[in-house]
């Protein structure tokens, strides 16, 4: 089956002036406006945009799986010449099972948790290839999707398998009907970096072998650029103008090597006295060793990054540093003072100098509090100044983190994600702490906002000689912010040292894999 | 297995505590039932007779002694004797159990039918207004008092339409009418949870994925939606057994049927302590067993809650 | 990062309904939901106000004597003088229902007060108190849950004696477990929220966290449950008096009115329908208000 079409051939998928709206309580809210694009056979088109750009809605529209309150208000989608909007139930089923393949976003949620992978794959196979027995076919498909241990995967329930394996099984199901177009909606965003690469390689391979066209939906600009023939940028439901697209790409984290080169002078400063000392910290939960004898020091006024994938123990370690969790052995010192959860009075004193910015800006602010009260809480609790002085301080902090004065009386739910994170930073700054733990502070934000928040953190560090403990899985961000780094894997520190040294000449194999997976 | 034994142990403990709590409430509070009922001058008993009766029923003993004796007897399956007619409580309960079991069984079937119908309507109703109508069924029915439904049903089906004989052994029809009343009035919590679970299940990504694969809707419903929604409902089914008991009191009283409910009503009226204590213990036992059964069955339907996985991670 | 396609769809929706999200303007859709009160809720509040009014000052709404009737007027049907007819002793049904609100509503309030105070205390103690207290309190909740609530109320009433006040306390005691369970679950849920951790790191003491962050965040849920249980209490109390274990004649109570009326159903069906309809309407209104409050609590927690 060769699909070497001449350029004159009609496109496989044509989206024409498409507009989609959702009905909320009383009105229709347009989400996609006048979007047009083509996907030719064998071509990969990346659809990129920030959250709220309408990219997932577009994918859902092609598959006609939008919720009942969505409506196509104008335009059409043509697949292989057929208008999907006018397709009968039967035609639609035929197109879904044989024309289109769908690789969803979150593999752990995309299987029925009550049935084995085998029964769910067979269900698809009976539909697509009734002429052959499903058993051999299922194994062949899984192998094709890069699964080696097919028997185990088939006999497992979804919760027993990793996200990476489940995503491969989903890919197997998606190619079962020999589709011509694969719609991949953020196929790797829920996966760890090292696994992401493997999945993308598999998709690329299948594309070549089967002559698949791919519609790749993603918020990851680097990924889109590297894996597609054509990139379409969406901005609030419209195909974006080129300045917007350029600005978006400019805000994306640069490759590690580029960032390191840019920071050459910055990283070459001499080491001042250590602000934070972590010495042989160990923590087990039952049989699981979450953190195993990790040691590092953070010089005052610098940023130390804890890098690792999910389950590497980086969050546990952060909680120990904050005194929220007691280490089984080892010690944490801030400026020579022990951080010890058993001594609550001393801990409270140390915490003046030890603050946090959480990962999720939606959960870390009390929904019932105004912004001003949230920022002022540490001041009130540590009785810093009188009422008037505190008010002045709150205003000053809001200013420092770039919050407009008119948000001070609002509640967290009225703010955007970026603004919420600024509130959290202002709260952390309130008592002039020495160390702030930044727990993936930007991973829940869109790229442009991410960039702004990182910029703010850098400025604040320079102006107030703050020390950061920066927890992240994103090596590109780490390269831009951190001075020293510790790479964690299953609770063990595999490598530690200045960022430039570790990233340029990794001594450990795992570090090398991590670096390769982000380019 | 160890898990099951532990659960059975907790069940026994809770049952023991139920016995103790009800005993304390009924006995330690002022006034004993014999004097309450008989020492009124109009009752026609001399103080001597009352004392004699008190002694006969053992009500004159200290509460602690009666508690210990009662508990030891209860462990052997003897719940004492009724203060009203002197019959053994166990015997009375056994007699009343069968008609209530029939009533409750049919009522539960009716609940299941109603739940399925409303669930399908709320999920697949053609127009939004219809789906909303189906979704508001439980809260409408919930606000109907059992006694009202019972009185209206008797009026309509027995007196006016004459379909169901009111008294005597009317066979199936005579049980079916009260069972309808009971089933309708106890159905709202289950329907509510089932409808909510169905709609929730419908929004799961894996359902969307199945639709995107072109799997027929009927199969999606029977193989993916229904099992997903039935699981949370299973827990509520256990709780519905509790409502069944409460509903039976009113239903049996209004329909003048014999059964546990009617027995309860009479025992309260007559301050018949031993009978009331027995009824509560039996009720609690049925309720706890039903819930234990649900908990034991749950992992069979949901591979995620197998004990060895629930503790990992 | 959105965890599922659904979340992204919702994110698409939210952001599109409000192009100003990044500029920090409140979401239009959400604001509408937050501020504009649906008409059914307004109607429900109106019903509740009228009922509370008749509980406080029944004579203002109904001038006729609810206790002493005119025997010659017995079993009169609905008319200008007797809006809802009269009962078998010639007492005006409208007056009896309005005056019945006093017993029914005040008893229900008493019942909910008992349940809220004891139940919430138990639940919070189980969730936030010392470790050793948790198991005994959980067992207590198990015991209370194991006895069907109407049956438990009947046991209490059998012990206390038959009266509307006793019935109210009995119903209140039978509802403790519901509040205890919800209070405990909510307290545990809120306690694990990141903002609680953030407050602790901001230097708030343990007691301070409970008072300033935890209680305010579970209050709305508990209030909506209290409103819901108020409806349940009305139903339970009217059931008890229907069975003859609650308010005693001649003072009127809704369930008891239905019981009396049932004897004359064929001749005078309004004697059943009128008081029963009041119960149904009040319970419906209360439920509607409760769902509305619940939805608001959910919105606020976002």
- pLDDT, one tens digit per residue, over A28-53 is 888 899 999 999 988 999 998 887 78
Over pLDDT 90: what percentage of chain C? 40
Q: Name the maximum alpha-carbon separation found in chain C.
A: 77
* pLDDT tens per residue, range A214-261: 999 988 888 888 888 888 999 888 888 777 777 777 777 777 778 877
Closest CA relative to residue A487, chosen from A443, A517, A457: A517
pLDDT at residue A435, rounded to an integer = 94
- Lowest average pLDDT, out of A264-268, B177-181, B262-266, C167-171, goes to A264-268
pLDDT tops 60 at residue B300:
yes
Å between C197 CA and nearest CA of chain B? 22
- Lowest average pLDDT, out of A186-190, A344-348, C102-106, goes to A186-190
Average pLDDT over chain A, rounded to whole?
A: 87
pLDDT at residue B191, rounded to an integer = 92
- Mean pLDDT value of segment C227-250: 89
Pairing of strands A13-23, A70-79: antiparallel
pLDDT tops 80 at residue B124:
yes
CA angle A456, A460, A464 (to 5 degrees): 180
Is B203 near chain C, with CB under 8 Å? yes
pLDDT tops 90 at residue B72:
no
Chains in contact with A, where contact requires at least 3 CB pairs less than 8 Å apart: B, C
* pLDDT tens per residue, range C184-210: 999 999 998 889 999 989 888 889 999
**Would the CB atoms of B250 and C239 count as touching at under 8 Å?**
yes
**Would the CB atoms of A60 and C5 count as touching at under 8 Å?**
yes
Does the complex come out with an ipTM higher than 0.90?
A: no
Instruction: Give residue B107's pLDDT band: very low, low, confident or very high (50, 70, 90).
Output: very high
pLDDT tops 60 at residue A98:
yes
A278: left (phi over 0), alpha (psi -120 to 50) or beta: beta
A381 CB-near residues (< 8 Å, 6+ apart): C202, C203, C204, C205, C208
CA angle B226, B228, B233 (to 5 degrees): 85
- Mean pLDDT value of segment C156-172: 90
**Would the CB atoms of C265 and B253 count as touching at under 8 Å?**
no
CA atoms of B25 and B28, how far apart (whole Å): 6
Closest CA relative to residue A245, chosen from A256, A231, A259: A231
- Mean pLDDT value of segment A423-430: 94
Is C219 near chain A, with CB under 8 Å? no
- Mean pLDDT value of segment C130-144: 91
Measured between CA atoms, the residue of chain B closest to residue C256 is B147
- Chain C residues with CB inside 8 Å of B35's CB? none
pLDDT tops 90 at residue C14:
no
pLDDT tops 60 at residue C15:
no
Å between C258 CA and nearest CA of chain B? 8
C positions 241-260 inside 8 Å of A (CB)? none
pLDDT at residue B87, rounded to an integer = 85
- Mean pLDDT value of segment B265-271: 88
CA atoms of A317 and A311, how far apart (whole Å): 11
Closest CA relative to residue C243, chosen from C141, C194, C171, C301: C171
SS (H, E, C) A294-352: EEEEEECCCEEEEECCCCCCHHHHHHHHCCCCCCCEEEEEECCEECCCCCHHHHHHHHC
Closest Cβ opposite residue A123 in set B215, B227, B309: B215
* pLDDT tens per residue, range B56-68: 766 677 778 888 8
Residue C196 CA, chain-centre distance (Å), reads 30
Q: What is the side-by-side strand order in the sheet with A492-498?
A: A354-357, A435-439, A467-472, A303-307, A484-489, A492-498
Instruction: Give residue C1's pLDDT band: very low, low, confident or very high (50, 70, 90).
Output: very low
Chains in contact with B, where contact requires at least 3 CB pairs less than 8 Å apart: A, C
Whole-angstrom CA distances from C86 to A33, A477, C66, C99 are 66, 81, 10, 14
Measured between CA atoms, the residue of chain B closest to residue C265 is B155
CA angle A267, A271, A277 (to 5 degrees): 115
- Chain C residues with CB inside 8 Å of B242's CB? 148-149
**Would the CB atoms of A52 and C197 count as touching at under 8 Å?**
no
pLDDT at residue B49, rounded to an integer = 76
Average pLDDT over chain C, rounded to whole?
A: 81
Over pLDDT 90: what percentage of chain A? 41
Residue C171 tokens, joined: 């119903």
A465 CB-near residues (< 8 Å, 6+ apart): A300, A301
Measured between CA atoms, the residue of chain C closest to residue B285 is C146
**Would the CB atoms of C151 and B245 count as touching at under 8 Å?**
yes
Over pLDDT 70: what percentage of chain A? 96
CA atoms of A206 and C214, how far apart (whole Å): 52
pLDDT at residue A430, rounded to an integer = 93
pLDDT tops 50 at residue A3:
no
Is B205 near chain C, with CB under 8 Å? yes
Predicted TM-score of the model (pTM): 0.83
- Chain A residues with CB inside 8 Å of B211's CB? 65, 96
pLDDT at residue A305, rounded to an integer = 94
pLDDT at residue A126, rounded to an integer = 86
pLDDT at residue C9, rounded to an integer = 35
Neighbour tally for A322: CB within 10 Å: 24
Is B25 near chain C, with CB under 8 Å? yes
- Test mutation, A112, A122, A184, chain B, max B CBs within 10 A: A112
């Amino acid at each position: 089956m060769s699909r070497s079409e001449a350029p004159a051939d009609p496109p496989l998928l044509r989206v024409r002036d498409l507009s989609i709206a959702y009905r909320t309580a009383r009105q229709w809210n347009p989400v996609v406006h006048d979007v047009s694009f083509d996907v030719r056979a064998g071509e990969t088109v990346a659809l990129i945009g920030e959250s709220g750009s309408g990219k997932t809605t577009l994918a859902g529209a092609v598959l006609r799986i939008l919720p009942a309150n969505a409506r196509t208000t104008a335009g059409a989608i043509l697949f292989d010449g057929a208008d999907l909007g006018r397709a009968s139930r039967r035609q639609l089923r035929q197109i879904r099972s044989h024309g289109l393949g769908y690789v969803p976003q979150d593999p752990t949620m995309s299987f029925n948790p009550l049935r084995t992978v085998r029964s769910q794959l067979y269900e698809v196979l009976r539909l697509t290839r009734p002429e052959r027995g499903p058993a051999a076919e299922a194994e062949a498909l899984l192998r094709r999707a890069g699964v080696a241990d097919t028997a185990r995967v088939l006999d497992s329930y979804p919760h027993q398998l990793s996200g990476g394996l489940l995503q491969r099984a989903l890919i197997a199901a998606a190619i079962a009907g020999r589709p011509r177009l694969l719609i991949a909606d953020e196929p790797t965003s829920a996966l760890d970096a090292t696994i992401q690469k493997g999945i993308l390689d598999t998709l690329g391979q299948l594309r070549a072998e089967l002559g698949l066209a791919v519609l790749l939906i993603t918020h990851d600009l680097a990924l889109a650029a590297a894996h597609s023939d054509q990139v379409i940028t969406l901005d609030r439901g419209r195909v974006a103008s080129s300045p917007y697209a350029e600005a978006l790409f400019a805000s994306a984290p640069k490759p590690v090597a580029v960032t390191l080169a840019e920071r050459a002078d910055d990283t070459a400063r001499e080491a001042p006295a250590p602000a934070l000392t972590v010495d042989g910290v160990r923590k087990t939960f039952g049989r699981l060793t979450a953190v195993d004898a990790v040691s590092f020091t953070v010089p005052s006024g610098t940023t130390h990054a804890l890098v690792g994938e999910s389950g590497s123990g980086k969050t546990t370690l952060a909680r120990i540093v904050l005194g929220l969790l007691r280490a089984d052995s080892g010690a944490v010192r801030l400026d020579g003072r022990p951080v010890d959860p058993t001594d609550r009075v001393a801990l409270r004193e140390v915490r003046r100098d030890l603050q946090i910015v959480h990962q999720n800006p939606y959960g870390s602010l009390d929904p019932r509090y105004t912004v001003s009260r949230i920022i002022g809480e540490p001041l009130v609790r540590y009785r810093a100044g009188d009422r008037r002085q505190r008010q002045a301080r709150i205003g000053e902090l809001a200013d420092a983190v770039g919050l407009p004065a008119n948000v001070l009386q609002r509640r967290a739910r009225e703010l955007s994600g970026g603004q919420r994170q600024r509130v959290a930073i202002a709260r952390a700054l309130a008592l002039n702490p020495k160390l702030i733990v930044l727990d993936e502070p930007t991973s829940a934000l869109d790229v442009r906002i991410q960039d702004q928040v990182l910029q703010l953190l850098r400025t604040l560090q320079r102006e107030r000689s703050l020390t950061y403990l920066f927890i992240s899985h994103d090596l590109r961000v780490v390269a831009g912010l951190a001075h020293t780094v510790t790479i964690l894997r299953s609770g063990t520190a595999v490598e530690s040292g200045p960022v430039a040294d570790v990233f340029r000449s990794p001594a450990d194999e795992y570090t090398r894999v991590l670096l390769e997976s982000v380019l | 297995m160890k898990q099951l034994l532990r659960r059975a142990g907790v069940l026994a403990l809770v049952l023991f505590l139920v016995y103790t709590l009800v005993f304390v409430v009924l006995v330690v509070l002022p006034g004993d039932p014999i004097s309450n009922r008989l020492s009124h001058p109009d009752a026609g008993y001399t103080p001597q007779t009352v004392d004699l009766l008190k002694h006969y029923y053992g009500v004159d003993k200290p509460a602690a002694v009666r508690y210990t004796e009662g508990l030891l007897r209860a462990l052997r399956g003897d719940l004492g004797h009724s203060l009203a007619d002197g019959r053994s409580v166990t015997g009375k309960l056994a007699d009343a159990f069968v008609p209530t079991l029939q009533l409750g069984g049919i009522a539960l079937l009716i609940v299941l039918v109603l739940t399925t119908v409303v669930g399908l309507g709320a999920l697949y109703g053609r127009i939004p207004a219809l789906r909303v109508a189906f979704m508001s069924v439980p809260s409408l029915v919930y606000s109907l008092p059992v006694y009202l439904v019972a009185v209206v049903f008797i009026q309509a089906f027995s007196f006016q339409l004459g379909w169901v004989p009111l008294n005597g052994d009317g066979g199936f029809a005579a049980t079916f009418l009260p069972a309808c009343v009971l089933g309708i009035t106890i159905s709202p919590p289950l329907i509510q949870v089932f409808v909510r679970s169905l709609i929730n299940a419908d929004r799961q990504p894996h359902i969307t994925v199945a639709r995107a694969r072109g799997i027929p809707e009927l199969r999606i419903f029977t193989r993916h939606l229904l099992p997903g929604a039935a699981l949370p409902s299973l827990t509520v089914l256990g709780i519905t057994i509790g409502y069944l008991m409460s509903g039976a009191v009113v239903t049996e009283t209004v329909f003048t049927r014999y059964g546990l409910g009617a027995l309860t009503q009479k025992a309260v009226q007559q301050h018949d302590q031993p009978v009331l204590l027995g009824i509560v213990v039996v009720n609690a036992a049925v309720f706890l067993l039903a819930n234990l059964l649900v908990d034991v069955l749950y992992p069979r339907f949901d591979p995620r809650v197998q004990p060895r996985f629930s503790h990992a991670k | 990062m959105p965890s599922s396609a659904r979340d992204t769809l919702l994110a698409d929706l939210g952001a599109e309904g409000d192009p100003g999200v990044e500029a920090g303007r409140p979401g239009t859709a959400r604001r509408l939901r937050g501020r504009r009160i649906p008409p059914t809720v307004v109607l429900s509040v109106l019903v509740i106000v009228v009922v509370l009014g008749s509980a406080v000052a029944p004579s203002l709404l109904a001038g006729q004597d609810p206790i002493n009737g005119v025997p010659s007027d017995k079993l009169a049907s609905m008319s200008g003088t007797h809006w809802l007819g009269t009962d078998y002793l010639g007492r005006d049904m409208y007056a009896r229902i309005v005056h019945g609100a006093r017993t029914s509503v005040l008893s229900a309030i008493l019942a909910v007060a008992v349940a809220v105070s004891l139940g919430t205390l138990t639940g919070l103690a189980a969730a936030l108190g010392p470790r050793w207290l948790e198991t005994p309190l959980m067992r207590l909740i198990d015991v209370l849950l194991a006895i069907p609530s109407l049956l438990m109320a009947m046991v209490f009433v059998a012990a206390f004696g038959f009266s509307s006040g006793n019935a109210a306390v009995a119903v209140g005691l039978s509802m403790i477990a519901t509040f205890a369970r919800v209070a405990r679950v909510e307290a545990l849920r809120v306690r694990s929220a990141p903002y609680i951790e953030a407050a602790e790191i901001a230097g708030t003491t343990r007691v301070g966290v409970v008072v300033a962050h935890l209680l305010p965040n579970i209050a709305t849920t508990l209030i909506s449950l209290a409103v819901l249980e108020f409806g349940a209490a009305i139903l339970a109390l009217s059931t008890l008096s229907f069975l003859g274990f609650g308010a005693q004649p001649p003072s009127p109570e809704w369930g008891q009115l239905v019981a009396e009326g049932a004897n004359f159903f064929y001749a005078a069906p309004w004697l059943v329908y009128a008081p029963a309809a009041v119960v149904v309407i009040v319970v419906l209104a209360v439920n509607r208000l409760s769902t509305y409050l619940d939805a608001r609590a959910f919105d606020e927690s976002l």
